[in-house]
A = this chain, B = another copy of it.
Amino acid sequence: MPASQHQNPKSDIEIAQASKPRRIVEVAREKLGIAEENLEPYGHFKAKVSMDYIKSLKSKKDGKLILVTAISPTPAGEGKTTTTVGLTDALNHIGKKAMCALREPSLGPCFGVKGGAAGGGYAQVIPMEDINLHFTGDFHAITSAHNLLSALIDNHIYWGNALGIDQRRVAWRRVVDMNDRALREIVCSLGGVANGFPREAGFDITVASEVMAIFCLAKDLEDLKERLGKIIVAYTRDRKPIRASELNAHGAMTALLKDAIQPNLVQTLEGTPAFIHGGPFANIAHGCNSVSATTAALKLADYVVTEAGFGADLGAEKFIDIKCRKTGLKPDCVVIVATIRALKMHGGVAKADLKSENLKALEAGMANLERHIQNIKKFGLPAVVSINRFSADSDAEIALVKEKCKALGVEALMADHWAEGGAGAADVARAVVKTIDEGKADLKLLYPDDMPLLEKIRTIAKEIYRADDIVADKSVKDQLKTWEEMGFGKLPVCIAKTQYSFSTNPDAKGAPTGFTIPVREVRLSAGAEFIVAVCGDIMTMPGLPKVPSADSIDVNDQGRIVGLF
């Protein structure tokens, strides 16, 4: 039995800092054929790839696209990013030219409860400290662009409000890349005439910004600017929408994002090239890395591994119905990540009891994985299941998962990239290549553009979540009708709901049935071009835990960052 998770004595940051990375210009040249003049280096181990160069690749044939998604997440951990990195290394290990396209981690959670997000064990992207902290400054650029628009709105009102903005109807909040619950709801512009008109306002975390969603969906700088101009920032007293373009904000916002829009190139611990670019929230946005990085990667490698946020019900559905719909991208294979631990939690086992074999609970929890497999089939896509190995996994448990998957016509394989790097996921890589070679992918979007908005929500709820139906107040239905009349009827829908269950009850693990999905509220992201349907509580500004990660993050006497996980 191989070494595996929970036995390795080294922390992620120790493994990452012990590595001897090659200079990124060499990785780019040797692995991707990119000359140095097409790179903007950020230190010796990170670089942006120039947009002009990416445009020059337009006529090249696309590689194969592999989407990594997962079962509904549990506190046991699944390892989606780790699998994305490990599978990419594994594809190289078996002789394929592969790279991955990941999301950038957010600074807020890094200092909160989550820690870093650059993979783990021997399946990491490096330099992990840089990637987890400021990286190449993309999120700071997005924060600045967002808050410039916020400042311009209040400034417009201050200097006479020629557009007639109703200060009670300013829809555009501010953002900060920090978990800061004190900023969720504020009253701003206090202190007298010189500070403006007091009004209710608030901050979201940067990844929840519509600018982030636009950044990730924009094809190029022109498309970015046009979408930024379309953002609806406020309404007049008679409900006329006011757009960012009316404040002439989109040009300056684009100037702030001009460098950021270029994909960031780094490498895995095994020297495999990796794009890490963009990171929209997977609830009020679509939760996938940037279109510019994914499309560029397809021109540069034969196999591109990318990931989508949360479980397949949320992440994969949005990847397909928003990102693929908008761009023409088509996955050739889907990898569904699971762990036996997490499946047992879906079967009702408490976290403390996960180390004991429990076939009954595992069988019950498999219902969650099975439903995700069925859903992926509905999209016309072939799937492979990758089981992220933990030391407590028993042979009988492993056999059970494989057998259950086989019954659904899907191969499930053990992966131990966490302990062994790419070699540990070679079986998964071979299965993925075989699946792609069979050429069975035939992407079907879940709903057509011209389906009414409410029907789109209902279709997702019934087909993917398996709800009996949706429920929505008249005000929600009226709002959707209004948007259809305004010309927004063809937009796709982005559902914001808990990631922990197919239903809106986070405690309903496994594969719940007999529930309805309440549509509490709908929001229009006119620049990102989707409708957000809020189903249940939605958190756009996390808080810090009692003992946040910041407590242990430090710089030691040798000037090295320590305590970052």
Binding site for B on A (CB under 8 A): 40-44, 51-52, 107, 111, 129-130, 133-134, 137, 140-141, 143-144, 147-148, 150-152, 154-155, 158-160, 174, 176-191, 194-196, 200-201, 221-222, 225, 248-249, 251-252, 254-256, 258-259, 543-544, 546, 548-555, 557, 559, 561, 563-564
Contact status of A191 and B196, CB under 8 A, knowing A152-B544, A564-B255: no
Q: A176 CA to B563 CA in the complex, in Å?
A: 27
Residue of B nearest to A177 (CB): B144
Q: Is the CB of B554 within 8 A of A254?
A: yes
Most buried by B among A182, A187, A221, A555: A182
Cβ–Cβ < 8 Å partners of A546 in chain B: 159-160
Q: Is the CB of A196 within 8 A of B221?
A: no
Apart from the given pairs A147-B180, A160-B546, A248-B550, 8 other A-B contacts in the complex at a CB distance below 8 Å: A134-B137, A134-B256, A134-B259, A152-B544, A182-B195, A248-B551, A251-B554, A255-B564
CB-contact partner of A543 in B52, B158, B221, under 8 A? B158
6 contacts between A and B (CB under 8 A): A52-B559, A140-B144, A148-B178, A186-B186, A221-B559, A225-B555
Q: A544 CA to B134 CA in the complex, in Å?
A: 28
CB-contact partner of A555 in B189, B258, B543, under 8 A? B258
Q: Is the CB of B252 within 8 A of A144?
A: no
CB-contact partner of A148 in B147, B148, B550, under 8 A? B550
Q: Is the CB of B178 within 8 A of A184?
A: no
Q: Is the CB of A555 within 8 A of B255?
A: yes
Which are the 9 A-B pairs with shortest beta-carbon distances? A251-B554, A185-B191, A140-B140, A154-B182, A252-B550, A151-B180, A252-B553, A185-B190, A155-B544
Q: Is the CB of A251 within 8 A of B134?
A: no
CB-contact partner of A195 in B134, B181, B188, B259, under 8 A? B181
Cβ–Cβ < 8 Å partners of A51 in chain B: 559
| Shortest CB distance A175–B (Å) | 10
Q: Is the CB of A187 within 8 A of B187?
A: yes
Cβ–Cβ < 8 Å partners of A190 in chain B: 184-187, 200
Q: A552 CA to B181 CA in the complex, in Å?
A: 35
Cβ–Cβ < 8 Å partners of A177 in chain B: 144
Residue of B nearest to A200 (CB): B190
Contact status of A184 and B179, CB under 8 A, knowing A140-B134, A159-B546: no
